[in-house]
Amino acid sequence: MDSSTQSTKALLVDADDGAVVAHGSAPHPRGTEVDPRAWLRAFDEATTGLLERADAVAIAGQQHGMVVLDDAGAPVRDALLWNDTRSAGAADTLIAELGGRQACADVLGSVLVASFTSTKLRWLRDHEPENAARVARVLLPHDYVAAHVAAPGTRPFTDRGDASGTGYFSAHADGGAGAWRPDLLGAALGRDAEVPEVVAPGAVAGTTTAGKPLAAGTGDNMGAALGLDLGPEDVLISIGTSGVASTIAARAVADGTGTVTGFADATGRYLPMVTTMNAAGILDLQARWLGVDHAELAALAIASTPGAGGVTFSPYYGGERTPNLPGATGTWSGLHPGTTRADLARAAVEALLCSLADAVDALVALTGVEPRRVLLVGGAARNLAVRAVAPALLGRDVVLPDEGEYVARGAARQAAWALAGTPHPPTWPLLTAGTLTGPPDPTVRERYAALRDALHREEESR
């Protein structure tokens, strides 16, 4: 299962070759704070007729979300999701308390931003002290959903991949096994609280209520990497609610600039990642403004010329995580009397891809590994204009895996791994729909970078 921001997706998969046997889905409520019990109802709906057919189960889920429970195991308040930016100030405070950005990265693998769970706990302490005082246990979304299907009496559990996005877990501690930092959780929340057990990669975490093996589960980005069998010479770009560029590394990274987060993956390695908050929503909003559907938006964008007739914009509509501009808004530049609807559509596609091209460049600069493959997945990867423009702005050929729910596939692969009891996950073939090619277009990137840097300077001057 993939318990994502928008919905629960369930896949029943053949453990031998990864072929999808059956699937289900159910929507989640919209918003950046959600009653987590809604995820359980979606889980029950999405898995109807599937769960009883499974020989093993694993759940991947949206990273970072703060699920706080009281002594009775009931939610203290609605969960704050990864894309809720109200804790941006708390992130700055916690970084200072850790000794600065590089010190923060050295301890956690990442520089804190508003997405991380610890920043939301500090916000809770400072703004809702009566709720903070009731917190007995802190879980991540996938931990909470996994507890719903686990046999009674099972202690809550997680994996090092999802734990590495909390802000109170050191992924490189204990020789890479990782370890909780209860001192950092206590400093964030203002009191101690229970955390889930961290289950080793490939291990069985418990059993379901039906007695079937239950794997640890993981974060959504770790699930996608596992579902695509990502390797150290691959970069995965995913364009969904968030935009993500990630790769696999054997050793931990610690980027004090905060551009690259040094998460753990679901196999015992690391998952350096760059994440943007504004991704597919950029195209959703542009289609709505122009009064077209996504197919028409793509046709308009393709009808324009590279550079969108001189129009550039920064797509930071709801604030941004990378670059870290939580108070930013969308900013258009270069509009003139000759600007066409096609130019506006093209500018949206180019801004989305320039943002992700920056993410790929940051990964390459930090790891020193030029990617052998760049893979493109996610809902917005179906957009024909995105496909047409991607090679030029990414400056690389782009591989299109067949359409699929790769987070859920990764969870299924993890379940198959736990079922098999082998040292490594099963090998499943990855089918592709082709490779996108085209010459690089540095001019568009340069204009986008100029606007991005101007916004940085403006933010710093404040």
Rounded to an integer, the average pLDDT of 214-243 is 95
Q: Which tokens go with 200?
A: 């080793």
- E strand or H helix that includes residue 444: helix 442-461
| Helix axes of 384-394 and 294-303: crossing angle, nearest 10 degrees | 50
Going by C-beta distance under 8 Å and a sequence separation of 6 or more, which residues neighbour residue 387? Answer: 376, 381, 398, 400, 436
Q: Where are the alpha helices (DSSP H) in 175-261?
A: 182-189, 220-227
Amino acid at 173: A
The Cα 416–Cα 288 span in angstroms is 42
pLDDT averaged over the chain?
A: 95
Q: Is 446 helix (H, G, I), strand (E, B) or coil?
A: helix
Backbone φ, ψ for residue 322 (5° rounding)? -135, 105
- Asked whether the predicted pLDDT for residue 189 surpasses 80, the reply is yes
Confidence of residue 326 (pLDDT cuts 50, 70, 90): confident
Q: What is the mean pLDDT of residues 419-434?
A: 95
Does position 462 have pLDDT exceeding 80, yes or no?
no
**First and final C-alpha spacing in the chain:** 44
pLDDT at 26: 98
β-bridge mates for residue 409, sequence order: none
pLDDT at 460: 73
The yes-or-no verdict on residue 459 having pLDDT over 80 is: no
CA 95 to chain centre: 21
| Pair of tokens at residue 236 | 């995965």
pLDDT of residue 216: 97
Domain 2-228 indexed as CATH 3.40.920.10: no
- How confident is residue 324, by pLDDT bands cut at 50, 70 and 90? confident
What is the Cα 189 distance to its own chain's centre? 24
pLDDT band at 121, cuts 50/70/90?
Answer: very high
Contact criterion met (CB below 8 Å) for 145 and 137: no
Helices 220-227, 406-420: inter-axial angle, 10-degree rounding: 70
Residue among 84, 220, 234, 265 flagged as catalytic: 220
HSE, CB side, 13 Å, CA atoms: give it for residue 337: 0
Q: 323 pLDDT exceeds 80?
A: yes
Residues whose CB is less than 8 angstroms from the CB of residue 7 and which lie 6 or more positions away in sequence, other chains included: 25, 26, 27, 28, 42, 46
Q: How confident is the model at residue 318 (pLDDT cuts 50, 70, 90)?
A: confident
Q: Residue 132, exposed/middle/buried by CB under 10 A (0-12, 13-18, 19+)? A: buried
Q: What does the domain layout of the chain look like in residue ranges?
A: 2-228
- Written as six digits, the tokens of 311 are 């129009």
pLDDT at 133 over 90: yes
Q: Are 111 and 88 in contact (CB under 8 A)?
A: no
- Give pLDDT, residue 159: 97
- The pLDDT assigned to 343 comes to 98
Element (H, E) at 11: strand 7-13
User: Considering the chain, what percentage of its residues have pLDDT values greater than 70?
Assistant: 100
On whether the CB atoms of residues 218 and 418 are closer than 8 A, the answer is no
Q: Catalytic annotation on 35?
A: no
Identify whether the C-beta of residue 95 lies closer than 8 Å to the C-beta of residue 147: no
pLDDT digits (tens, 9 = 90+) for 329-384: 999 999 999 999 999 999 999 999 999 999 999 999 999 999 999 999 988 999 99
- Cross-strand partners of 10: 24
For the segment 197-210, the average pLDDT, to the nearest whole number, is: 96
Tell me the average pLDDT across 109-123: 96
- The pLDDT assigned to 461 comes to 77
Interior angle at CA 34, CA 116 and CA 27, nearest 5: 110
pLDDT reported for residue 322: 84
Residue 375 phi, psi dihedral angles, 5° rounding: -105, 140
| Element housing 117 (H / E) | helix 117-127
User: What is the tens place of the pLDDT at every residue in 58-88?
Assistant: 999 999 999 999 999 999 999 999 999 999 9
Cα separation, 412 vs 418, whole angstroms: 10
Q: Residues near 260 by Cβ (< 8 Å), separated by ≥ 6?
A: 253, 272, 273, 274, 362, 363, 366
Average pLDDT rounded to a whole number, residues 292-298: 98
- Confidence class for position 457, pLDDT limits 50, 70, 90: confident
Q: Which of 32, 435, 415 is nearest to 227 (CA)?
A: 415
